[in-house]
Structure 1
Amino acid sequence: MSFLKTLVGWLTGKKAEEPADFTVVFKVTAHKLKMPIGMQSAPLTNSGEDETLDAFWSDEVESAKLKQKRFTELMAEALQKRDPENTYVCSDKFYITVTTKDGQNGSIFSENIWREVADCPGERKPKLRTTLAMGAMTKEYSLKENLDRIIPTSRGKDYIDYCTNQMEDKIFYEELTNDLYLSFVLDLPDLFLSVSKQDIDECGKSLVELKEIAKDNLRRCLPEAIDVYSRDRRLYVMAAGGNYEAYTIHLPECMQQIRTTLERDFAFAIPGRDLFLFCKADDGEALLALQEQAKLLFKNHSRPISPGLFVFEDGELKGIEISAN
């Protein structure tokens, strides 16, 4: 079942042509609701088309010989040029330490960004435009004024540990099961901005209300119909346009539609933000293949979540480990 890697490569943009053997075998639909009156926030712009941002980067960033540590140094320099009021320093090959003008400290993790551009020397600057939006992370985005932008996210233990240990403004998270957590982000044009515990305390909504608002916002982000691909109807991949696939686990109607279509329980993997892979929970061979691919995809993904397999049992999320014996 190595064909799964080929399909994932196409869905994530690493392969240009759609694999001929794969077809849409069914569709999943989120229950979209209209946005409540008065909740629309002010429009924001996306910096991805702003060519002037390229000037902040040294030409060295396009070098085929560029290494990760030097990339992080160049990234710190570019952020510093764009945002001179605050201080950006490369602290090691993975991190940039940020000190705001009023003395607050934070950090930026560069590894995921490096993974996205490492293999495209000569073409990096356009891909890095939105990265410079991180210079705006010191700007206050009020959750209360951006309730239409909050969405639920799926996070792995590594990310939660990093945020807990490295970030001064502690993000909100809630454990779903071993190695999988719920958190929230503001879905901004240039980046996902994590929502902190303090943000939630000050937004004027209860956690229960906020979860429902976030799920409704996520539904509006998804395509009208979410395609599910397969070649052999044993391993399946969801394609929701990128960025949101792994977050669909928070939408009960989507999970129920998969179960109804397969006519049985299913196991799934979300090794990265844009990946939702699944198979029937009673198909031993498919489970082993899914587990193997999930670990490989997690290891190499630019936005990793978890290498594990998960199932819903009586509505409760559980992690599982498959043995070859």
Structure 2
Amino acid sequence: MNLFKKLSGKSKEIEREKPTIQSPKDEEQVDNQKQVSKSKSVRILPRIKVNYLHEIYIDDQSKSFTGNPMPNGMEIPEDQKPIVKPLYEDLNLCFAVDEGNSYKILQNEIFEKNPNLNEDILHQISVNTLIEEIGEQIKMNGDPAHIIIVTAGGNFEAAIILLDNFWEQIHQIIKGNAIISIPARDLLFICKEGNQEATQKLREITKGYFDNPETQGLLSKALYLKELGNRELKIIEKTF
């Protein structure tokens, strides 16, 4: 069921956020954005990752979703490590280059080749590309009085948390702060803060995906608070 149809009696498309670079520091940054995102037709998209060294995963280090440690003595050169930008709490942001049939995670070596580039510019470029990629596919289903399920094609649902315009609409729809769950990269669930029944259901949903060995692209076992007017996400609890 279309969420907007339930609210207004007719279908309504989610508004697209303008794919523009916000507040560049200088012309050099703008030139560098163009160099990365346009001159070679490079499409850079955001990938939400989880820092499984965060304290909420202390009891989970032996579990498969936390990843396998590297053999003793094995090191990866700094320029070959993925670019990782801390986001909120246990969440990090990486950057994926669209190679047609797959995505390649950008490594630190890109900064050596593009000295005027930085994580903030990559962040904005990737968000702009995300809007172009899935902006018209974002659909919100469910009951705004209970749980909203967000879909957008099955690859970047978790990355929707980066879109300011999306949250403006969500806060208007639920008329309050939001509790969210992103158990995997293609999953985004939302309910209103204070709805205890819906929050309990989000706990069960989140744990269920982690308990299922067939779940692909696992992310966070946390529930987060998204406050009106605040870009940050805050962990309110771990679900197991």
| TM-score for both structures, normalised by structure 1 | 0.54
Q: Report if the CA contact (8 A) 1:164-1:171 is conserved.
A: no
Runs of 5+ consecutive residues of structure 1 not aligned to the other structure: 1-22, 42-141
Question: 2:200 matched to 1:200?
Answer: no
Q: Report if the CA contact (8 A) 2:137-2:153 is conserved.
A: no
Question: Which of these two proteins has the greater Rg computed from alpha carbons?
Answer: 1
Give how far 1:232 is off: 6.9
Instruction: Return the letter of the residue paired with 2:232.
Output: E
Question: 2:112 matched to 1:218?
Answer: no
Q: Report if the CA contact (8 A) 1:28-1:258 is conserved.
A: no
Instruction: Return the letter of the residue paired with 1:29.
Output: E
Give how far 1:182 is off: 1.3
Give how far 1:154 is off: 0.9
Aligned ranges for residues 116-195 of structure 1 at < 5 Å? 148-158=42-52, 162=67, 165=70, 168=76, 169-195=80-106
Count of matched residue positions in the alignment of Structure 1 and Structure 2 = 201
Which residue of structure 1 aligns with residue 201 of structure 2? Answer: 289
Give how far 1:230 is off: 0.5
Which residue of structure 2 aligns with residue 50 of structure 1? Answer: none
Which residue of structure 2 aligns with residue 275 of structure 1? Answer: 187
Which of residues 201, 220, 233 in structure 2 aligns to 1:306? 220
Give how far 1:162 is off: 4.5
Q: Secondary structure at the match of 1:213?
A: helix
| TM-score for both structures, normalised by structure 2 | 0.71
Q: Distance in 2 between matches of 1:28 and 1:157?
A: 31
- Which stretch of the first structure deviates more once superposed, 234-243 or 184-193? 184-193
Give how far 1:212 is off: 1.3
Which residue of structure 2 aligns with residue 315 of structure 1? Answer: 231
Q: Report if the CA contact (8 A) 1:295-1:308 is conserved.
A: no
Q: Report if the CA contact (8 A) 2:156-2:185 is conserved.
A: yes
Question: Sequence identity, in percent?
Answer: 25
Give how far 1:156 is off: 1.5
Q: Summarize deviations over 1:170-210 as a string: whole Å, max 9, x none.
A: 11112223321111111222222111122234334233222
Q: Report if the CA contact (8 A) 1:147-1:213 is conserved.
A: no
Instruction: Return the letter of the residue paired with 2:139.
Output: D
Q: Distance in 1 between matches of 2:226 and 2:51?
A: 19
Question: 2:11 matched to 1:33?
Answer: no
CA distance 1:147–1:266, shift in 2 (3 Å):
farther
CA distance 1:321–1:198, shift in 2 (3 Å):
same
Instruction: Return the letter of the residue paired with 2:47.
Output: T
Runs of 5+ consecutive residues of structure 2 not aligned to the other structure: 5-12, 22-29, 55-65
Which residue of structure 2 aligns with residue 239 of structure 1? Answer: 151
Q: Summarize deviations over 1:74-101 as a string: whole Å, max 9, x none.
A: xxxxxxxxxxxxxxxxxxxxxxxxxxxx
Q: Distance in 2 between matches of 1:159 and 1:275?
A: 22
Instruction: Return the letter of the residue paired with 2:223.
Output: L
Give how far 1:218 is off: 0.6
Q: Distance in 2 between matches of 1:192 and 1:298?
A: 24
Aligned ranges for residues 73-112 of structure 1 at < 5 Å? none
Give how far 1:253 is off: 1.1
Which residue of structure 2 aligns with residue 230 of structure 1? Answer: 142
Q: Report if the CA contact (8 A) 2:144-2:191 is conserved.
A: no
Q: Report if the CA contact (8 A) 2:145-2:192 is conserved.
A: no
Q: Report if the CA contact (8 A) 2:139-2:152 is conserved.
A: yes
